[in-house]
Structure 1
Amino acid sequence: MGPGHRVPDGGAMESRTEGAALRRSILDTIPFSIIATDARGRIVTVNPATTALLGYDRDELVGAPLSVVDGARRRLSAGGAPALTDDQGDDVEWVYRRRDGTTVPVQEAIVPLDAEDGEAPGFLVVAYDITHRARTRDHVEHLATHDSLTNLPNRAHLLRHLEGALERAEQTSLHLALVLLDLDHFKRINDSLGHHIGDELLVVVAERLLAWTRSDDLVARLGGDEFAVVLHDLPPYADLERRMEELMVDVLAPVVVHGYELAVTGSIGGIRYPADGEDPATLLKHADIAMYEAKAAGRNAIRWFDHGMLKDDDGRLALSAALRQALEQGELSLAYQPQLDLATGQVVGVEALARWTSPTLGPVPPDRFIPVAEDGGMITHLGNWVLRTACEALVRMQEELGHPLRLAVNVSPRQLRGRAWLEEIADAISSAGIAPAQLEVEITEGLLIEDHGDVVAMLESLRSLGVAIVVDDFGRGYSSLAYLTKFPIDKIKIDRSFISEITCADNDAAIVDAIIVMAHALGMTVVAEGVETAVQERYLRERGCDEVQGYRYSPGVPADDVVQVTRALSG
């Protein structure tokens, strides 16, 4: 045996054997999936945790390519093998596919193996199940992008969805539509019947919208009582008018919730892509403008966006600026419409009506400038001006007539929000020198349902001053006469829409009859507004209606003409 010949070190061999056994023991007991591959990604061995995770026997995996367990496609090298060398470094989230075809999310790291004792180099692919983490993350993501009540996507989800939808529409040359639906007077239901009733109504509407749409469409809740629908893959000339009519019938049908039958109506605004905008934010803004137009048209209506609405939107801003200037420069005036006692035919009062003739815009009707005053924060200024001007004019009318009149003024919900307005009323009465009982404050029935505590307190304070409370346009909202017993109400004005239905002597205006009978039972006076014909007057007199006003007697006239009109009507 030559001097250069080395005798094998038995201790070293034994040490390597013990090390291999230790590694095998660790691999067999560690709870992580460990897959050893050769340099081309072919599986050399797996540990028991791998077979437990994936449902394969060891023999089914050994010799197979790593792709057999992949639930997603890996990058391939130039030779067609998995590019495991590119995946080295930080661990990443990946997806494995089990033997039964189901997938499992894993956290995976790939470790290169150096060649040892003539063995070919390869990789260790180490992974562990992160199903719980993925579910938690998905749940958090769902909460961030979905409405908790209806489980519909929210506004943030809608905007992201629209981005992808617009890309798809551009590629396919198909169109899409975005429709916004806002339930009319929903807050009244919430506040009068309870939030649990309102919530259940929202859930029913959400379910109906899902049933009405196709599986590829999107239904979202934007907040409150506002919903959005994205209709995908529409041909350029799709009959969307018919679709919206179907929506009104299928989705906005009456709903029974806990024994309450709720009449559901909605204001709908829609846009078409690509005609009405190029990006999600613009499309949503234009759909919102169209929905506003539907509300302005009297609600329970459908409006499709057209670019002229942008001018209308700008026009509202211009109108707001002009109204502010009009208030400062005294461009507004008041007209007074007489109110007659049906039993005697005598004029017993007048209603003050704001009028505006602009030097640049011409006559602007109240239904245009009053909402602008509300939105622009000018309604308190306008309301105080109407109150003081009308009280002062009433004094002059009474002096010429020689007998007292009552004065009715309309009040905005915003005026009732602060105690300052109550002081304004007391000061206006005192300054003019009229009796508090001569002043009638007209409120809408919807106001009674919006905030019981504040409204009741304000109305009781008005009553304590001696001012009478009148509910205007009664019958148009959700309230009932039984509901009005909770409030200090003196008089009810039947909405003109019910009076207009009395067209002949044989008419049976059941709603008018019921209001008159029940109001009298509750000790309230009844006024019919919008009376235009002798038939209507006779019908109301026979039913015991107390007072009337309308074009049959006189339109609103300037204060200087009230005395002449009153004398003519009183005969």
Structure 2
Amino acid sequence: MASPISVLILENDSNSVFDLVREMKANGLSPLYRVVESSANFEATVLEEDWDAIICSTRAPFQSEISFFLKFLNEKKIDIPVILLSEPEDFHKNLLYMKSGVNDIIDRKTLLRLTEVLERERRELVYRKEKNTTETFLYQSLKEIQLQKFALDQANKVSITDANGIITYVNDAFAKITGYESFELLGHNHRILKSQNKSKEDWAKIWESIHKGKVWRGEILNTKKDGSLFWVDTTIVPFIGTDGSVFQYIAIHHDITDQKLAEEQLTHDAFYDNLTGLPNRALYLARIEQKIFTYNIQKDGYPIVFCINIDNFKRINHSLGNESGDKILIIFSERLKQFSDKDAIITRLGADNFSILLNHLLSIEEAVDYAYRLFEFLGDPIPLGGYEIYLTASYGISAFGLGGKEADVLLRNAEIAMFHAKSQKVGTVAVFNQAMQEKIHFQLEIQNDLKKALIHNEISVFFQPILDLKSNQIGHWEALVRWRHPQRGMVSPAEFIPLAEDSGLIVPITRFVLEQTANVIEEVQIKKGYPISIAVNLSPQVFYDQNIFHWIVDLHKRRGIPYSSLQVEITESLAMKNLSDTVPILSNLIDIGVKVALDDFGTGFSSLSYLEKLPLSILKIDKSFLNNVHVGNKESFLLISIINMAHDLGYTVVAEGVEELEQLELLQSYQCDEIQGYWLSKPVPFPEIIPFLDQFYKKETS
């Protein structure tokens, strides 16, 4: 969602103004701007709005008026940062401008730092205004301070110290949150609360700042009298005497413990396995990337990945039940941790698949020996429900280099080696090597057949409806590509889409999907009158290497397809791969009316920190979030949190993979907007769309 900013632009070159506005929009800003083309209009215009910044050209006629502008702002006590738009060769002039009070200077030829400078100056402007407001409020007479202290006591947790940091006053709310009585705190300093997130160096910097009369604000993790922890958002305000020295400090605390715990829980659930507490695949891949980066820099710590699969685990689940199976997985994960050294990184990849990342072994031989020693350690029986369960596991090993030089490749090859070991004999160890290229040859065969499929019209597009839970209408569909192989029959998209992306065939496939989508829109909406909007999935290659924006504009001009009838779906990994490139492309699509959906939310690892930076319309919750969701359990709280978070950001929420009525009813109660899945319909071919809609609306009206 774009961030609004109000800017006064002093420039008489319309092209330059256009470049400024375009640069701001491309980098996530939504500028509200006024252009002044002559200095005569400056005084009246600058007083009309509460501007966040002034961008002033150093060209005529403004060049000679810059000092006047600065003087006017200073005399009127108007605090607005002034940023000059200058030629890069005017170094000496720019230096004089900076000395005269200009906040920053931007190279008009590149505008590279424009957004960064605007956001920085706006933050500092907000800070100055808040600081001035706070100082005005607090630096009054002692009588006024007493009145303010009374007001603060009613709504906040307050403590006051003398110039040496000794506590001289606490209100009841502050004493209560600490677990101490007031008399136990008086005469001590705040070290009695044993801050957990601030070092001695941190406190030294804080004291240095407030001793100079500056207000400090930050989050502090303190310890209660009973040893439990609590978080406070604290503002420390120094009081300065007539001699210019600080004579006391007032600290205003807001309890943010619940907020912090909720954030920690949400983060934990997003990146850790709920059953075992181990890192999930997304976090594990990030850890592998870190180790590879360290090895490339230092040439120390050779990354080796072990993939471990429990043999015949489905049989255990079927015979003893899923609850017993979960207990075994927990015990198995604990034994992995017991055997491994403290530097090992262990993950549960899913189901009965685990993985270990080590970087202290020096050779493949040591890795194989490690795997067999682990095999023996895990062989001890597990007592459960009157039985002794003996487990074996199959191991795959992938070492940096031959096994891959990227995190996902290294892990994938370890899994390939594990499946190879399992195909030979359960309870064995295999190292990824060239002997396992049979699988790759098979993939090449499929890839070659895929090239022929485009020529022989074996590729088709199916469409899956999406139901609006509030209106009970079907207005949205997702286009899904299908391949019927002449010998193999229907080939799973999971098999051929990655191969299409690797080979570049995803480009003509996507063009084909767009054209088929246009056919549906023409028939269903333009001719039949049913409102429809169809989403097309975009792969990284199509998104970055091809101009998807121009494809859609061409489709609109050539075939009259409304922009509002098209959606694009991107994955988290695609969105986060290069945020600076992603945002402008998505913004351009949204500007012309194309909706943008983030698909499979929750399967990537940067969504929580970057979600608010992406220009999106729709958030699609991955079907894995519906697994084991019941009212009141942890999964349901996570699902509710995601839906509420998406709504707060202004996104429509679509739940994928809805297969049961219970899931639908839960999603309705959680205020989910739309659902997609087999409960409503499997993907259908083009000729079945209108009969499906006719039948659906016939039921609705009957």
TM-score (normalised: structure 1): 0.52
Quick check: 1:269–1:294 contact (8 Å CA) kept in 2? Answer: yes
Question: 1:294 deviation in Å?
Answer: 5.2
Show the counterpart of 2:73.
none
Q: Does 1:324 align with 2:472?
A: no
Question: 1:432 deviation in Å?
Answer: 3.0
Deviation string, structure 1 residues 111-138 (Cα, Å, up to 9, x no partner)? xxxxxxxxxxxxxxxxxxxxxxxxxxxx
Q: Distance in 1 between matches of 2:296 and 2:413?
A: 29
Show the counterpart of 1:391.
518
Show the counterpart of 1:468.
595
Quick check: 1:335–1:557 contact (8 Å CA) kept in 2? Answer: yes
The aligned amino acid for 1:317 is L
Question: 1:495 deviation in Å?
Answer: 0.5
Quick check: 2:398–2:414 contact (8 Å CA) kept in 1? Answer: no
Q: Does 1:514 align with 2:656?
A: no
Question: Which of 367, 372, 396 is the matching residue for 1:238?
Answer: 372
Q: Does 1:208 align with 2:356?
A: no
Show the counterpart of 1:345.
472
Show the counterpart of 2:300.
152
The aligned amino acid for 1:362 is G
Q: Distance in 2 between matches of 1:384 and 1:372?
A: 17
Question: 1:148 deviation in Å?
Answer: 6.1
CA 228–455 in structure 1, closer or farther in 2 if over 3 Å, else same: farther
Q: Distance in 2 between matches of 1:559 and 1:541?
A: 29
CA 458–231 in structure 1, closer or farther in 2 if over 3 Å, else same: same
CA 353–243 in structure 1, closer or farther in 2 if over 3 Å, else same: farther
Question: 1:378 deviation in Å?
Answer: 1.2
Show the counterpart of 1:530.
657
Q: Distance in 2 between matches of 1:404 and 1:319?
A: 38
Deviation string, structure 1 residues 126-155 (Cα, Å, up to 9, x no partner)? xxxxxxxxxxxxxxxxxxxx9464551669
Q: Distance in 1 between matches of 2:576 and 2:507?
A: 21
Deviation string, structure 1 residues 276-333 (Cα, Å, up to 9, x no partner)? xxxx998889x9988435568999x999458984321110111111111111222100
Aligned residue runs from structure 1 range 73-88, under 5 A: none
Q: Distance in 2 between matches of 1:536 and 1:567?
A: 26
Q: What is the aligned-residue identity percentage? A: 32
Q: Secondary structure at the match of 1:456?
A: helix
Show the counterpart of 1:442.
569
Q: Distance in 2 between matches of 1:493 and 1:384?
A: 23
Show the counterpart of 2:332.
none
The aligned amino acid for 2:659 is E
Q: Distance in 2 between matches of 1:298 and 1:473?
A: 27
Q: Distance in 1 between matches of 2:601 and 2:345?
A: 35
Q: Does 1:423 align with 2:558?
A: no
Q: Secondary structure at the match of 2:600?
A: strand
Q: Secondary structure at the match of 1:488?
A: coil
Show the counterpart of 1:292.
412
Please, what is the CA RMSD of the aligned residues?
4.3
The aligned amino acid for 2:668 is R
The aligned amino acid for 2:595 is A
Quick check: 1:441–1:469 contact (8 Å CA) kept in 2? Answer: yes
Q: Secondary structure at the match of 1:208?
A: coil
The aligned amino acid for 2:565 is Q
Show the counterpart of 1:547.
674
Q: Secondary structure at the match of 1:232?
A: helix
Show the counterpart of 1:357.
484
The aligned amino acid for 1:292 is R
Quick check: 2:458–2:485 contact (8 Å CA) kept in 1? Answer: yes
Show the counterpart of 1:315.
442
- How many residues are matched? 340
Deviation string, structure 1 residues 413-463 (Cα, Å, up to 9, x no partner)? 111113533211211233332210111100001222111111111111212
Higher-RCO chain (CA-CA 8 Å, sequence separation at least 6) = 1
The aligned amino acid for 1:365 is S
Question: Which of 600, 606, 611 is the matching residue for 1:479?
Answer: 606
CA 293–401 in structure 1, closer or farther in 2 if over 3 Å, else same: farther
CA 210–545 in structure 1, closer or farther in 2 if over 3 Å, else same: closer
The aligned amino acid for 2:412 is Y
Question: 1:229 deviation in Å?
Answer: 5.4
Show the counterpart of 2:99.
none
Show the counterpart of 2:313.
none
Q: Distance in 1 between matches of 2:582 and 2:408?
A: 30
Question: 1:381 deviation in Å?
Answer: 1.5
Q: Distance in 1 between matches of 2:409 and 2:578?
A: 28
Aligned residue runs from structure 1 range 256-271, under 5 A: 269-270=396-397
Aligned residue runs from structure 1 range 56-75, under 5 A: none
Q: Distance in 1 between matches of 2:528 and 2:599?
A: 27
Q: Distance in 2 between matches of 1:502 and 1:473?
A: 17
Q: Distance in 2 between matches of 1:298 and 1:469?
A: 38
Deviation string, structure 1 residues 72-120 (Cα, Å, up to 9, x no partner)? xxxxxxxxxxxxxxxxxxxxxxxxxxxxxxxxxxxxxxxxxxxxxxxxx
Q: Distance in 1 between matches of 2:403 and 2:534?
A: 48
CA 480–290 in structure 1, closer or farther in 2 if over 3 Å, else same: closer
CA 472–240 in structure 1, closer or farther in 2 if over 3 Å, else same: same
Question: 1:361 deviation in Å?
Answer: 2.2
Q: Distance in 1 between matches of 2:378 and 2:461?
A: 42
Question: 1:344 deviation in Å?
Answer: 2.1
Deviation string, structure 1 residues 471-519 (Cα, Å, up to 9, x no partner)? 0000112234562111111110011011232257988611210111111
Quick check: 1:532–1:550 contact (8 Å CA) kept in 2? Answer: yes
Q: Secondary structure at the match of 2:300?
A: coil
Q: Secondary structure at the match of 1:510?
A: helix
Q: Distance in 2 between matches of 1:565 and 1:297?
A: 45
Question: 1:465 deviation in Å?
Answer: 2.3
Q: Distance in 2 between matches of 1:380 and 1:420?
A: 11
Question: 1:271 deviation in Å?
Answer: 7.1
CA 297–451 in structure 1, closer or farther in 2 if over 3 Å, else same: farther
Quick check: 2:625–2:635 contact (8 Å CA) kept in 1? Answer: no
Question: Which of 561, 577, 586 is the matching residue for 1:459?
Answer: 586
Show the counterpart of 2:560.
433
Aligned residue runs from structure 1 range 30-69, under 5 A: none
CA 318–290 in structure 1, closer or farther in 2 if over 3 Å, else same: farther
Show the counterpart of 1:48.
none
Quick check: 1:180–1:229 contact (8 Å CA) kept in 2? Answer: no
Quick check: 1:492–1:526 contact (8 Å CA) kept in 2? Answer: yes
Q: Distance in 2 between matches of 1:242 and 1:490?
A: 53
Deviation string, structure 1 residues 320-370 (Cα, Å, up to 9, x no partner)? 111111112221001100011101221111100000001122210000000
CA 471–351 in structure 1, closer or farther in 2 if over 3 Å, else same: same
Q: Secondary structure at the match of 2:684?
A: coil
Deviation string, structure 1 residues 162-184 (Cα, Å, up to 9, x no partner)? xxxxxxxxxxxxxxxxx5469xx
CA 298–233 in structure 1, closer or farther in 2 if over 3 Å, else same: closer
TM-score (normalised: structure 2): 0.43
Of the two, which has the highest radius of gyration?
1
